[in-house]
């Protein structure tokens, strides 16, 4: 996986520190939902059973560089 400088900074926040890199990799490789934003960035969601929440991973348009990752409190699994 590749990461933006923004991601490397933001993942250090206390609310993001518990996000496991393995979960990010699983979300990228086998998402439950995928959406392409108007700026061509790619959103991927996967339910993380250990947390009972959906993890959202934002990739750059290259499809491999992680820009952001967080537990999406508003996403409940419905199609967006």
Q: For 21, list phi and psi in degrees, rounded to 5.
A: -60, -30
What DSSP designation does 44 have? E
pTM (predicted TM-score)? 0.91
Ramachandran area for residue 45 (φ above 0: left; ψ -120 to 50: alpha; else beta): beta
> Would you kindly state where each structural domain of the chain is located, as residue ranges?
2-71
For residue 44, give both structure tokens. Answer: 């991927």
What tens-digit pLDDT sequence spans the chain (80 residues)? Answer: 899 999 999 999 998 989 999 999 999 999 999 999 999 999 999 999 999 999 999 999 999 999 999 999 889 876 54
Q: In 3D, which of 80, 79, 77, 40 has the Cα closest to residue 55?
A: 77
């Amino acid at each position: 996986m590749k990461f933006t400088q923004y991601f490397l900074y933001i993942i250090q926040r206390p609310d993001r520190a518990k996000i496991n890199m393995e979960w990010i990799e699983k979300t990228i490789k086998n998402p439950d939902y995928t959406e392409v934003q108007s700026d061509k960035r790619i959103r991927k969601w996967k339910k993380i059973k250990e947390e009972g929440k959906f993890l959202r991973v934002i990739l750059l348009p290259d499809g491999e560089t992680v820009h952001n990752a967080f537990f999406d409190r508003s996403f409940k699994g419905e199609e967006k």
